[in-house]
Amino acid sequence: MAWPVRPAQARIARVARIVHRLANGLRKDSAAQGLRRLTKYSHHLRGRTKAFGVEHPARRREVRRVSGLVAATLSAWLLGCAGPDYERLDVILLNDPPTMVSVEEGFSVPLGVSVVIEVHPIAMSDHYDVDDQVRLASRDETVLTVLPGNRRRYFALIGMAVGETCVEVWVDGDFGECIPAEVTDE
Amino acid sequence: MGVRAAFTLVGVAALTACHDGLQGELGNGWFEYQCVNDTDTFCSDRGTGFRSRRADFPEFVGVGGRFRMDYEPPLFGSAGQVRTASSERIARRDDHFIVVSAGHGGLFARERSGQVLDVVHLDCRAVANVGVERDGEVRGSVELALGFAASVRVLPVTSNDEVLAGAFSYSFTVDDPDRLTVRSHDGPRVRLVGDAPGRTRLHVNLSGQEFTLEVDVVDRQAPEPTGDSGASQTPATQEPDAQLPITDDDASFAEADEDGGA
């Protein structure tokens, strides 16, 4: 069966687009999501190599060249092109609760009180973009609930029941830390 | 151009300035306290009739008290439903909220998408006692002339005699029925008749919480409406038509007599 032969440039561009999409996707994935994405794209790339017609020696060389390009790109990305390394979360208190709350070294919220905060992730060396998605999630929603605010990076911390938990920080799908949180009896 | 801008500014100011209630802590809207019924001292104005809505906001709400809360978004803002922060402090019941425990209780307006639009906190206090208001002060005792009926409005108060908002259910019993009779009651308004001189206690059940009010029945020939009882008094045999004159000081209880009592 003769496969349609396309100009080498077009094929390389297509593979490069796939690699580019893969790299972009990986940047925003967690480890598990990244693995799934890699598996999916490896199938996709295998399909492409089949479409190149690997039985022909010239095409086989081309496939090797493209595969090498893919491997080099991925290696480069894995070695040095990953997103910034999370260091900490800067927190700004937005409302004025009637009782003492703490959002600086861990969260301390009295029972029944709602605290609205704005957060900014800080990287170790590089810096995060304003488009980087920040997600906060309470490990125990029955103690402290975290709800999204009406603007980007605004969150409401709700003291549901007296106890301790921690609030997970995710930046662009990467886990940053789990900030200790307590709900106190007023 | 200047005139148009001025009109626009006036229009925007008119549309945004007239809001009842309390602005949320994020400044994204207004929270409006609404009374469930006329047993809520905050809306009854203690004498000028029941209004379910008021422009201001209660300072304290009593544990066990019921109320409604509405959220009004700003111009072009998103409508939000009011939710309670913790059901251990303020719980949601059908169409109203009920204060469960003392402390600050957060309420927040939440958009359909789940985003929190604004937040407000109520100071929830335990009901420490009941009293009657007299000359701007809350007192824990009532003086009643022998043979006369008095309408008294009972107020839930904190340990510092601060009047608490919230709708409650009321029921009344007396220690000594031969000395004092509860002729009728309508929510916090109770009509008492002094049958024999002496001191007794009026027990007030406030949504399941028991409190007492000291009542002194005094043997007097002529009733003194401005006395310490905090109530206008009429001869028990003449009510409700033949009421004694009520001074300005008694205005806060005038409405209690208007409802006729017995």
Shortest distance, CA A46 to any CA of chain B (angstroms): 41
Residues A78-117 have pLDDT tens digits of 544 567 889 999 999 999 999 999 998 899 999 999 999 9
Residues B139 and B120 in one domain: no
Mean pLDDT throughout A131-135?
93
Residues A141 and A178 in one domain: yes
Q: Is the pLDDT of residue B246 over 90?
A: no
Check residue B241 and give its pLDDT: 32
Shortest distance, CA A158 to any CA of chain B (angstroms): 6
Q: Does B162 fall in a domain?
A: yes
Residues A50-80 have pLDDT tens digits of 555 555 667 667 767 766 666 666 555 554 4
Q: Does A174 fall in a domain?
A: yes
Q: What is the CATH number of the domain that holds B242?
A: 2.60.40.1080
Tally of domains within chain B: 2
Helices (H) and strands (E) in chain B, counts: 3, 20
Q: What percent of chain B has pLDDT over 90?
A: 50
Q: What percent of chain B has pLDDT over 70?
A: 74
Residues B207-224 have pLDDT tens digits of 999 999 999 999 875 455
Structural domain that includes position A76 = 8-80
Shortest distance, CA A157 to any CA of chain B (angstroms): 9
Are the beta carbons of A110 and B104 separated by less than 8 Å? yes
Q: For residues A73-96, b (16+ Cβ closer than 10 Å) or e, as one string?
A: bbeebeeeeebbebeebebeebbe
Residues A72 and A103 in one domain: no
- The CA distances from residue A24 to A28, A122, A173, B35, in Å, are 7, 21, 12, 55
Chain B residues with CB inside 8 Å of A112's CB?
A: 85-86, 88-90, 101, 103-106
Q: Checking phi first, is residue B94 left (phi over 0); if not, alpha (psi -120 to 50) or beta? A: left
Q: Does A26 fall in a domain?
A: yes
Name which of B25, B78, B115 is nearest A95 (Cβ-Cβ).
B25
A-chain residue closest to B28, CA distance: A150
How many other CB atoms are there within 10 angstroms of residue A60's CB atom?
A: 14
**Highest mean pLDDT out of B3-7, B142-146, B202-206:** B202-206
Residues B170-208 have pLDDT tens digits of 999 999 999 999 998 888 989 999 999 999 999 999 999
Structural domain that includes position B159 = 129-258
Residues B33-45 have pLDDT tens digits of 999 998 998 887 6
Residue in B119, B122, B123, B125 to test binding to A, most A beta-carbons within 10 Å: B119
Residue in A95, A100, A136, A184 to test binding to B, most B beta-carbons within 10 Å: A95
B-chain residue closest to A183, CA distance: B86
Residues A155 and A176 in one domain: yes
Residues β-bridged to residue A88 = A122
Name the band, by pLDDT with cuts 50, 70 and 90, for residue B89.
Answer: very high
Q: With both helix axes pointing from N to C terminus, report the angle between A57-80 and A8-27 in degrees, rounded to the nearest 10.
A: 20
Check residue A3 and give its pLDDT: 46
Check residue B9 and give its pLDDT: 60
Residues A53 and A74 in one domain: yes
Dihedral (CA of B218, B223, B225, B227) sign = negative
Residues A100 and A64 in one domain: no
* Mean of the per-residue pLDDT values of chain A: 78
Q: Does B134 fall in a domain?
A: yes
Three-state secondary structure call for residue B154: coil
How many other CB atoms are there within 10 angstroms of residue A149's CB atom?
A: 21
Residues A91 and A179 in one domain: yes
Mean pLDDT throughout B3-31?
72
Residues A106 and A177 in one domain: yes
Residues A90 and A12 in one domain: no
Chain A residues with CB inside 8 Å of B119's CB?
A: 95, 114, 116, 156
Residues B220 and B237 in one domain: yes
Of the candidates B68, B103, B125, which is a domain's last residue? B125
Tally of domains within chain A: 2
Q: Is the pLDDT of residue B82 over 90?
A: yes
Check residue A23 and give its pLDDT: 58
Q: Does B32 fall in a domain?
A: yes
Residues β-bridged to residue A170 = A135, A175
Q: Which candidate, B194, B91, B85, B204, places its Cα nearest to that of B144?
A: B194
Name the band, by pLDDT with cuts 50, 70 and 90, for residue A4.
Answer: very low
The lowest-confidence range among A36-45, A171-180, B141-150, B198-207 is A36-45
Name the band, by pLDDT with cuts 50, 70 and 90, for residue B232.
Answer: low
Q: Is B25 on the interface with A (CB under 8 A)?
A: yes
Are the beta carbons of A149 and B116 separated by less than 8 Å? yes
Check residue B102 and give its pLDDT: 96
